[in-house]
Amino acid sequence: MLKCGTRWGKTKLAVQEAFYYLGKPNARIWWLAPSWSEAGVAWRMFLEDIPHEVMSSINNSEKSIRVINGSWIWFKSAEEYEHLRAEGLDFAVLDEAARMKRDAWFECIRPRLTDKQGKALFLSTPKGMNWFYEIYMMGRANIPGWESFSFPTWTNPYIQAGEIDSARQDMPERLFDQEFGAEFLSDLGAVFRFKRDEVTKEIVNVRGSFQEPVVAEKYVGGVDLGKRSSFTVIFILDMAGHVVAYDRFKTVDWTLQVKRVANLGLKYNNARMLLDSTGIGDPIYDFLKQIYPYASPYYISAGGKRMSLIDNLSLMIEQEEITWAEIPELMNELQVFGIETTRTGKPTYEAPRGFNDDCVFALALAAWALKKRGGVGFTFIDW
């Protein structure tokens, strides 16, 4: 288990470890990454370092190499781990394991190491206290067969101290501690912090039930439009910040999406709706406006607006200014939603690859509409 800060050099180390096992006759090795693009990064790094004279065959499309001693290595994505099939493995690398689903290890990789008594190398920057944290602690507890090591970014002698200091100043403290200090954060998903009842231990925000509209009551809503295979999600809030209505559906028919959004808004006294109008949302908003004039656009981008939207929702949840009935899909998304760093080192909020975030952004839009109505960025039609 290798828990490291970003840019520490963990992938480079894993390449050397894979070389060692590739030197054993007839070995079978897998390199698993959270996505194909990330597997491709390791693949290219591997090709740069491996001596060409030891390769007997190479398949660029399936990202596999066979060497002259009969050993093979394959580079794969964990996005659809349930479809991965293989004979027994001698060695496996789980690159950025904290961003994979736990079953990629327990259902896919672990069983394939059994017959050959194979080894596995986990390497990752932490992402909250998820399954990677659990198995990392097995090594810290000296459980036989497990070893765990931790290295913050600044232990890499090739990283300039000034870069570390600059990142510390530019980033939120907890994000810096996680991404550069390689620390596990105790809050769920590293973004949303939930208070729990001292007696029942239940999350205090989860209470009450959905409600039918009340005459003369005012409502606001948030809409995250489904794109490709994702869900369209609608939340309606009353002025106390309680979720009174929720809809989640999947359809590629934009006409049906717009009608469903408009119908729910009309039901709740012409609720003032805030709609994600990023990219594909623009023409849909224009269409919606024709039949439902009580909606306003919001452009969720990877920059400041996205961060502000989630920061507002996080604060409202922490201060109990927003509540909802039991919604399993919402809780699942809130708990895995996290902070990522882009290739340029800037923080951004998003769900791990393979997980949904439609509920999170729809609720964030509704919360923003409630908190910021009449403020900068958009103006609702007067009630």
- Close Cβ partners of 68 (under 8 Å, ≥ 6 residues apart): 54, 55, 56
Q: Which domains can be identified in the chain, with CATH numbers?
A: 2-155 (3.40.50.300), 220-372 (3.30.420.240)
Q: What is the DSSP letter of 274?
A: E
Question: What are the pLDDT digits (tens) for 74-98?
Answer: 999 988 777 777 678 999 999 999 9
| Cα 375-377-382 angle, rounded to 5 deg | 55
Q: Is the pLDDT of residue 278 over 90?
A: no
Closest listed residue to residue 7, CA positions, set 165, 160, 168, 190: 160
Q: What is the mean pLDDT of the chain?
A: 85
Can you spell out the DSSP letters for 291-354? H-TTEEEE---SSHHHHHHHHHHHHHHHTT--BB---HHHHHHHHH-EEEE-TTS-EEEEPPTT
Helix (H, G, I), strand (E, B) or coil at 63: coil
pLDDT score of 377: 47
pLDDT tens per residue across span 338-366: 776 555 445 677 776 667 889 999 999 99
Instruction: Kindly report the pTM of this predicted structure.
Output: 0.55
